[in-house]
Amino acid sequence: MTPGPAGAGAPPPRGPLAGVLVADFSRILAGPYATMLLADLGAEVVKVEGPGGDDTRTWQPPVRDGVSTYYLGVNRNKRSVALDLGDDADLAAARELARRADVLVENFKPGGLARFGLDYETVAATNPAVVYASISGFGSGPGGRSLPGYDLIVQAISGLMSLTGDPDGDPYRAGVAVFDVMAGLHATIGVLSALNLRHTTGRGQHVEVNLLASALSGLVNQTSAYVAGDVVPFRMGNSHPSLFPYEPLPCADGDLIVTAGNDGQFRKLVQVLGVPELADDPRFLRNEDRTANRGQLRPLLVERLATRTKTEWFRDISAAGVPCGPINTIDQGVAFAEEIGLDPVVTAGEGAAAVPSIRNPITFSDTAAEYRLPPPAVDEHGEEIRRWLAEREEAP
């Protein structure tokens, strides 16, 4: 593995990907999220930005100390170098970084880096071991390569928005760029798989991920309903097409999500609610019966739930082993994770520059994720990275 340009005084990475150098030519969300996950696990990530920086630096409010929290959320543990690919010296530095990288991640339009000699074929000619990951909106084929890939557009085109919202209302987008995140995760899986194969073959390969393919895969049961069952799913509000109860149900002071994913859980639920006879009612014996007869079952459950608060029911229903939960705001969700010992908030970096962030969700028994560096300023590490690249160029 190629050593990276670790800064003076910076703690060396110790995670499972220590020694892996990632050239990050991506921006906005899917690519930066993938490279942050790799960095958390020990990879040395060099974030290559244009002179104006990553687009998300300007996506504000909200901000922390004048910096977009959107940008802060997906760029810890990286070093930034600003390179103008239209400048000969900067382009030479970018090519040298690509030549040394174990992994290169980019999310330009398909073919967009070819004019700079930074496309997979050109990079692999001098670096055949490189794992080169490309993330696009609609793939590199002739029908999709020219389409801009924004998560909201993919939410619309994939069909997700047709499933989100009230049955008689307008389609809605999800509250987060869900397919950017999925594509970032799929890219990470692809990179790690290709790195593993490289141990055997000594060669890298081109890994391609696109948002629409990630969306159709991530829609799981909904796309399966169509391709395997010839059923076109539709908006059902908070209801589930194949399960009941699996939705918010009103208690004395607000809604509680109640889910009974199998017959055993339903039997436990009605026992806690004080109506155990419902478990043996022929209308509700099996999940398919409950789903078909939800219009009759729902008011019977609501009648019982209305007698107590959502907090009281949450405590007792959970204790019985039936999944349920309140509908929280983000701050309440973080607080709940803290209450149950997940320690969701970590600090990236040290001292005045340290930035609070959400913990990497993967736990290892021996090689924990690390949070060595806060998200960098534009070109914060440019001088040391350029010096590192130039020194190696001049070496005999």
Catalytic residues: 180
What's the rounded Cα separation, in Å, for the pair 337 and 29? 24
Instruction: Classify the C-alpha dihedral 153-154-158-160 as positive or negative.
Output: negative
Element (H, E) at 318: helix 310-319
Which of 381, 372, 380, 379 shows the shortest CA–CA distance to 351? 372
The phi, psi pair for 105, rounded to 5°, reads -120, 130
Q: What is the chain's alpha carbon radius of gyration, rounded to the nearest angstrom?
A: 25
Q: Pseudo-torsion of CA 43, 48, 52, 53, nearest 10°?
A: -20
What's the rounded Cα separation, in Å, for the pair 155 and 387? 43
The phi, psi pair for 102, rounded to 5°, reads -80, -35
- Strand bridging mode 103-106 / 246-251: unpaired
